[in-house]
Amino acid sequence: MRLIESLKRKKFILFNIFFMLYIGINLIGGERGLISYFDKKRIYEELEIKDKVITSELKDLEHKISLVINNDLDYLDMLYREKFRYGTKDEIIIKLR
C-alpha cells in the first residue's frame, strides 16, 4: 500500500526517467540513430568512389568510341593488331599484358 502511494507521488519523476531512457536509446540505436548515421555515411562515401570510377571508365570509353567514329587510323591499326594478333613478317610482337 505504501509502495503504491509512493509511486503516485513520484510518477512525474518516473515518467521523466523512462522518457529520457527512451530518447537515449533511440538516439544511439534505431533506424535514425548515430550508429545508422555512420553506416549510411560510410555507404555514401563508397558510392561516391564507385561513381568516380565508373565516370572515368565512361569517359575513356567515349574517347575510344570517338576515335573509332572519326576513323583515327592509328587507333584502328592498334585495335586491329591487338584483336587479331596481326603483324608483318619483319615485326617482333611483344605482349606486355
10 Å CB burial of residue 33 (0-12, 13-18, 19+) is middle
Range 56-84 average pLDDT: 88
Report yes or no: 36 and 27 within 8 Å, Cβ to Cβ.
no
Q: What is the pLDDT of residues 24-57, one digit of tens each?
A: 888 888 788 888 899 999 999 999 999 999 999 9
55 or 96: which leads in pLDDT:
55
Grid cell for residue 92: 617482333
Count CB atoms within 10 A of the CB of residue 83.
8
Q: How far apart are alpha carbons 71 and 63 in whole angstroms?
A: 12
Q: Is the pTM of the predicted complex or chain greater than 0.75?
A: no
